[in-house]
Amino acid sequence: MRTTILNDGILLIDKPVGKTSNQVIQIIKKKLGINKIGHAGTLDPLATGLLVVLLNNGTKISDYLLTADKGYDVTMKLFIKTDSGDITGKIIEEITPFKMKRKIIKKAFESFNGFIYEQYPPKYSAIKVSGKKLYEYARAEQEVQITPRTVTIQSIKFKSYNHVTQTIQFSVICSKGTYVRSLVEDIAYKMGILATVQQLTRVQSGNFKLADAVKVEDVSHNDIISMYDALFINKQPLLMYHYDEEIRQGKPIVIINHSDPNIFIIDKHKNVLAIYKHIGKHVYACQRGLWSNEQGPTLISKGEKY
């Protein structure tokens, strides 16, 4: 009996410290023989934890996974500020340490709970300004105007304060686009001090959990989550449509009793065939085909871009 190896879908990876997100996905690409690969939200080299890796046709659903809220466990180092916003950077400002009052700490964290605000991204980030990434300006010591972005701190919890190590630990669930490095500096400002990120672990992305992730050195095809399961876990609208050929031809279809702006069409085998967009009066138009005709493992093509 022949077993079909799953190649389209996602992987939940526990990223180690010291590696970039790109380095991690390149290791997986080579190990599993994947053509196209990406991820749904980068992690800095200092950061560890959940990296949602997208494989082959799974890269086509990135927009529907990137919008999910993220959860982090964070350790902030007090009384210093670095150019990068984390402990790996150069110290550019510091103040004499002192023992803080817990009520001041708690009050600062409470002020960010459920808070929507305009956050300035770190200058060492991948946001582009005039076609150039902010960290490229920073490395070249060039000044550039940074525009704030609206972010939402869904919930934040102060966990502990250590006077000896001068650190605070907290957990946070925040919207897409939130920079924890900036959040740490903003919380410190609220307390009247300086701070930078010492440790950061992503513990969730949407409904994906770090507890379900695997180490990059242990990853195998058996760890791939199908596109159907990935979308189902994150509560995306899925609908079985019996006329596969119409979907593969990209024909508009009529769907009654649905008003979702986008629907993922599946067949009876739970294969995700396409994304359909609502265009009015129960009519949905094909936005993107997602089916795969591949069988067995995919070979790496020379010069393939991820």
| CATH number where 281 lies | 2.30.130.10
Active site residues: 44
CA angle 23, 66, 20 (to 5 degrees): 15
Q: Kindly state whether residues 92 and 16 are assigned to the same domain.
A: no
Count of domains forming the chain? 3
Distance CA 258, CA 239 (A): 10
Residue 108 is assigned to a structural domain of this protein = yes
Q: Which residues in the chain land under pLDDT 70?
A: 1-5, 292-306
Which pLDDT score, from 0 to 100, does residue 239 have? Answer: 94
Q: Kindly state whether residues 271 and 161 are assigned to the same domain.
A: no
- Which residues make Cβ contacts (< 8 Å) with residue 98, sequence separation at least 6? none
Which pLDDT score, from 0 to 100, does residue 299 have? Answer: 29
130-182 pLDDT, tens digit each: 777 777 777 777 777 788 999 999 999 999 999 999 999 999 999 998 999 99
CATH number for the domain that contains residue 189: 3.30.2350.10
Contact between residue 208 and residue 12 where contact means Cβ atoms under 8 Å apart = yes
First to last CA, the chain: 33
Residue 294 is assigned to a structural domain of this protein = no
Distance CA 50, CA 56 (A): 19
Residue 46 is assigned to a structural domain of this protein = yes
Q: Kindly state whether residues 85 and 196 are assigned to the same domain.
A: yes
Residue 276 is assigned to a structural domain of this protein = yes
Q: What is the pTM of this model?
A: 0.87
- Which residues make Cβ contacts (< 8 Å) with residue 257, sequence separation at least 6? none
Residue 2 is assigned to a structural domain of this protein = no
Which pLDDT score, from 0 to 100, does residue 107 have? Answer: 97
Which pLDDT score, from 0 to 100, does residue 26 have? Answer: 96
Which pLDDT score, from 0 to 100, does residue 298 have? Answer: 32
* Structural domain boundaries, residue 276: 237-289
Q: Kindly state whether residues 62 and 79 are assigned to the same domain.
A: no
For 69-125, list the strands marked E by DSSP: 70-78, 80-82, 91-94, 115-119
Q: How far is CA 56 from the centre of its chain?
A: 18
Which pLDDT score, from 0 to 100, does residue 293 have? Answer: 54
Which pLDDT score, from 0 to 100, does residue 41 have? Answer: 85
Distance CA 72, CA 192 (A): 23
Q: Kindly state whether residues 104 and 56 are assigned to the same domain.
A: no
Residue 97 is assigned to a structural domain of this protein = yes
Residue 296 is assigned to a structural domain of this protein = no
Q: How many CB atoms lie within 10 A of CB 242?
A: 8
Q: Kindly state whether residues 83 and 199 are assigned to the same domain.
A: yes
